Amino acid sequence: MYYGLTGKCTWLFRRCLMDAHVKALQKNLVCQGLLFQRKIDHATVILVVGFFRIFTYEQEETLARYISEMEIKFFGLTGVEVRKLAIQFAEKLSIPHKFNQTKKKAEHTSFARATGFNQEAVQEFFSLLEEIFNKHKHSYTPNRIYNVDETGISIVPKSSPKIIAKRGRKQVGGFTAAERRENVTATICISAAGTFMPPFIIFPRVKENLEFIKDTPAGAWAEFHKTGCMQIDIFTKWFKKFVKFSQATPENPVLLLLDGHVTHVKNLNVIDLAKENGVEILCFPPHCTHKMQPLDVGFNGTLNKSFGAQVAAFQRRDNQITLKNLYSIFGKAYIHSAKMETAINSFRRCRMYPFDSTVFPELNVCALEGQISLDPCNSNKPG
């Protein structure tokens, strides 16, 4: 018996070798009104009535291999995610389908990071990373190991520089931009050797506006989407530029570390491009990037502080920050922060390179198991 991946269509193919078995099966199914038979090359093909089959056996095997690979690489897909992947796969192959594409609201997760960052998840990731390094001992040198991540920036920066004020004042005000909800997404990519890929920003606009990309760093570029957030097609465009930047080939592969955002790991176009160009993708465990991802650990905080200082300096000259001058200001902060030493230390602090699986001792990996303690690291102490 073989079930389709989507769970919507069920076909039963069986070569009947024993007449007695065939008659018993026929009697059982005819009674239910479900049996249709056809003789094909002396074989009896039994079709169980249900939804029409969408994919061929070979196409379903391709999807199955991808789902298995994602589970091995520490990012297993849920049933809903598999169905979304099937829709994407059918549309890529231009196969007519009647899959339900109804969108549902995501569920909230409580204490996700506290429960996700645990010893088992960390050790499994480092075991997989060690296996990759052992397999490509001479390929994955520091200049062939990359980390990419998105960070949100706003015309109202997350952090502002400290200022001098009168002692005793409990609150110190400062000017901010009026458009508080204009958020954009910046994508950053660094290597363990200290190189930085030119950044790119996604603006919350439907149409392209060249005024938004004036005075940007060399090689920087922008995309426009109504949400201002990363999308599957936009990440595919970025990935093509990454392949050129890293000069990845099957003979000279690169390793790309990233989080499990839907645009990263549930993107068939990126998976195909990675296989064709020798890019091995490895996902961090869910809710662990704040401790394990080099960009989160060593660079994004510095970038946000530098951006806040640039915004403050810009506004002190009686200028108003808008989306039209945001990229120019962000570019100055990026150039100020993008130092080789910063990138190298970011990978070193996470022990991604040089590789060290003991970066997170057992006592420092605290998970919420059964109950929540105000001091989870010391919750097992006697007394």
CATH of residue 222's domain is 3.30.420.10
Tell whether 180 is covered by a domain.
yes
Cβ–Cβ under 8 Å, residues 204 and 231:
no
Tell whether 197 is covered by a domain.
yes
Residues 123 and 34 in one domain: no
pLDDT recorded at residue 106: 47
Q: What are phi and psi of 231, to 5 degrees?
A: -125, 165
Please give the angle made by the CA atoms of 260, 261 and 262, to the nearest 5 degrees: 110
> Which stretches of the chain are DSSP H helices?
19-31, 57-72, 79-92, 112-116, 119-135, 232-246, 262-265, 268-277, 289-292, 294, 300-316, 323-337, 340-349
Residues 13 and 134 in one domain: no
Residues 86 and 201 in one domain: no
Cis amide prior to 253 (ω within 30 degrees): no
Which residues, in sequence order, are CB contacts of 176 under 8 Å at separation 6+? 156
What's the half-sphere exposure (Cβ side, CA atoms, 13 Å) at 58? Answer: 1
Q: What percent of the chain has pLDDT over 90?
A: 37
pLDDT recorded at residue 361: 55
State mean pLDDT over 311-331.
86
* Res. 175: pLDDT tops 60: no
pLDDT recorded at residue 242: 97
pLDDT recorded at residue 158: 56
Q: What are phi and psi of 241, to 5 degrees?
A: -70, -35
pLDDT bracket for residue 164 (50, 70, 90): very low
Which residues, in sequence order, are CB contacts of 358 under 8 Å at separation 6+? 351
Residues 272 and 215 in one domain: yes
Strand 35-40 and strand 2-3: the pairing is unpaired
Q: Which amino acid is at 153?
A: I
Angle subtended by helix axes 79-92 and 57-72, to nearest 10:
130
Tell whether 328 is covered by a domain.
yes
Tell whether 102 is covered by a domain.
no
Q: Measured between alpha carbons, how far is 258 from 269 in angstroms, rounded to an integer?
A: 16
Cβ–Cβ under 8 Å, residues 303 and 337:
yes
Which residues, in sequence order, are CB contacts of 22 under 8 Å at separation 6+? 16, 44
10 Å CB burial of residue 210 (0-12, 13-18, 19+) is exposed
**Length of the chain (residues):** 383
pLDDT recorded at residue 166: 47
Residues 6 and 155 in one domain: no
pTM comes to 0.68
pLDDT in tens, 215-235: 999 999 999 999 999 999 999
Higher pLDDT, 183 or 162: 183
pLDDT in tens, 191-207: 999 999 999 999 999 99
User: Whose CA is closest to 208, among 228, 220, 224?
Assistant: 224
State mean pLDDT over 288-307.
91
pLDDT recorded at residue 180: 55
Tell whether 168 is covered by a domain.
no
> Locate tokens 């392209």: which residue?
208
pLDDT in tens, 96-138: 877 766 555 544 433 445 455 677 778 888 899 999 999 887 8
Tell whether 119 is covered by a domain.
yes
Q: What is residue 130's three-state secondary structure?
A: helix
Tell whether 375 is covered by a domain.
no
Residues 11 and 62 in one domain: no
Residues 242 and 130 in one domain: yes
* Domains identified in the chain, total number: 3
Cβ–Cβ under 8 Å, residues 190 and 196:
yes
Residues 42 and 64 in one domain: no
Residues 133 and 243 in one domain: yes
The tokens describing 132, both together, are: 């990759």
Cβ–Cβ under 8 Å, residues 38 and 45:
yes
Sign, CA torsion 106/109/113/119: negative
* Res. 75: pLDDT tops 80: no
State mean pLDDT over 22-51.
46
Q: Measured between alpha carbons, how far is 268 from 201 in angstroms, rounded to an integer?
A: 23
Domain residues for the domain of 88 are: 57-92
Q: Give the sheet arrangement for strand 43-48, strand by strand.
A: 2-3, 10-13, 43-48, 35-40
Residues 266 and 149 in one domain: yes
pLDDT recorded at residue 160: 53
Residues 70 and 192 in one domain: no
Tell whether 234 is covered by a domain.
yes
The tokens describing 4, both together, are: 């389709």
Residues 255 and 360 in one domain: yes
> Locate tokens 């070798």: which residue?
17
* Res. 253: pLDDT tops 60: yes
How much is the mean pLDDT over the chain? 75
